[in-house]
């Protein structure tokens, strides 16, 4: 496994970040433990979750599963960089959501209880909250840092202007500010390159792409392993319609992958790791087999010719960050 600094911090994370959104609603607890064990053995030290994850099992269920795994061997906590998120509704209560100082404090305490840990390494704002003053947010985050409950702060799904605003406020207070941004980014969805990625680079945030396989579109023609109910995301009507609409692109992509003797999933993930500013890419395996199939990705080196061909197949939005400025 290869490791990179998380943004401008001195913290080193594995190039593959284990996303846990499937744990519970799609992957049973026992198999979730197997995935975690294999990931740890393979050198993956970066584990990402969120307080809302849990699907039909209820919010917080995924954090609870992760907490049970950590409790099986207390040494595991020191081996991983643990990341979770705050913002999404946790109940019907009007204040049990968003980025008010009150909710940030209460949500962090609740996550710590479910995870069974004393501190969270990377505490991420899951979405922007336009009603919350940035001063209020930093007040809450700095209090959590002072209490030893979190170490670093990150954002997720933030626009470029919000990253700039948050870090300018932090700089004015001589604080570290945000060190990571988790964004939707893959060969098909490249809008992050216009403003978010340049802002992250400028302010020293490590980008952590989520949905690197575009909901399965970039995973290849073979059907992914089914979930417990016998259906995979790639079998959904929306996904099938999107695959039909992009048939030409995807066929060209599959042909390129075949010529490289690699799976489409591996090439899609590797491409992200070749983009400047990316610290790690999230993988969300629903089974041990899916995890095993991409563990070699950090060792793939794509040539400039291959990168250029991928740009031909999946064009960028324009020259960033000034694609629309005139």
What domains are there in the chain, each with its CATH number? 3-313 (3.20.20.100)
pLDDT, tens digit (0-9, with 9 covering 90-100), for 208-230: 999 999 999 999 876 444 433 44
Rounded to whole angstroms, the Cα distance separating 232 from 229 reads: 8
Are the C-beta atoms of 239 and 216 separated by less than 8 Å?
yes
pLDDT for 127 beyond 80: yes
State how beta strands 150-156 and 120-125 pair: parallel
Average pLDDT over the chain, rounded to whole? 93
Rounded to whole angstroms, the Cα distance separating 309 from 315 reads: 10
Rounded to whole angstroms, the Cα distance separating 77 from 62 reads: 16
Reported pTM:
0.92
Which residues have a Cβ under 8 Å from the Cβ of 94 and sit 6 or more positions away?
A: none
Angle at 48 between CA 46 and CA 53, to 5 degrees: 160
Are the C-beta atoms of 181 and 217 separated by less than 8 Å?
no
pLDDT, tens digit (0-9, with 9 covering 90-100), for 143-179: 999 999 999 999 999 999 999 999 999 999 999 999 9
Paired tokens of 192: 């992050």
pLDDT, tens digit (0-9, with 9 covering 90-100), for 269-310: 999 999 999 999 999 999 999 999 999 999 999 999 999 999
Query: CA-based Rg of the chain, rounded to a whole angstrom?
Result: 19
CB atoms near residue 37 (< 10 Å): 15
Query: Which residues belong to the active site?
Result: 53
Rounded to whole angstroms, the Cα distance separating 140 from 103 reads: 9
Rounded to whole angstroms, the Cα distance separating 198 from 110 reads: 34
> Which residues lie across from 282 on neighbouring strands?
17
pLDDT, tens digit (0-9, with 9 covering 90-100), for 46-98: 999 999 999 999 999 999 999 999 999 999 999 999 999 999 999 999 999 99
């Amino acid at each position: 496994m290869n490791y990179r600094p998380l943004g401008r911090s001195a913290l080193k994370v594995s190039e593959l970040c284990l996303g846990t959104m499937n744990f519970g609603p799609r992957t049973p607890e026992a198999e979730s433990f197997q995935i975690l064990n294999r990931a740890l053995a393979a050198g993956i030290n970066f584990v990402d979750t969120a307080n809302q994850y849990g699907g039909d099992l209820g919010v917080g269920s995924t954090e609870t599963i992760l907490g049970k795994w950590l409790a099986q061997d207390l040494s595991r906590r020191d081996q991983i960089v643990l990341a979770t998120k705050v913002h999404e509704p946790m109940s019907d209560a009007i204040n049990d959501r968003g980025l008010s100082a009150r909710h940030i404090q209460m949500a962090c305490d609740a996550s710590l209880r479910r995870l069974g840990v004393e501190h969270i390494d990377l505490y991420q704002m899951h979405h922007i909250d336009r009603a919350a003053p940035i001063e209020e947010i930093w007040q809450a985050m700095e209090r959590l840092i002072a209490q030893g409950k979190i170490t670093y702060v990150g954002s997720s799904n933030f626009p470029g202007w919000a990253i700039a605003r948050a870090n300018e406020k932090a700089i004015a207070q001589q604080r570290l500010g945000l060190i990571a941004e988790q964004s939707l980014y893959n060969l098909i969805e490249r809008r992050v390159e216009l403003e978010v990625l340049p802002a992250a680079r400028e302010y020293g945030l490590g980008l952590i792409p989520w949905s690197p396989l575009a909901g399965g579109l970039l995973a290849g023609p073979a059907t992914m392993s089914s979930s417990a109910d016998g259906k995979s995301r790639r079998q959904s009507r929306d996904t099938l319609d999107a695959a039909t609409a992009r048939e030409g692109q995807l066929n060209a992509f599959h042909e390129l992958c075949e010529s490289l003797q690699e799976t489409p999933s591996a090439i899609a993930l590797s491409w992200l790791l070749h983009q400047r500013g990316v610290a790690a890419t999230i993988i969300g395996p629903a089974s041990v087999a899916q995890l095993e199939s991409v563990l070699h990705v950090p060792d793939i080196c794509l040539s400039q010719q291959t990168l250029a061909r991928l740009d031909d197949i999946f064009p960028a939005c324009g020259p960033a960050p000034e694609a629309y400025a005139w």
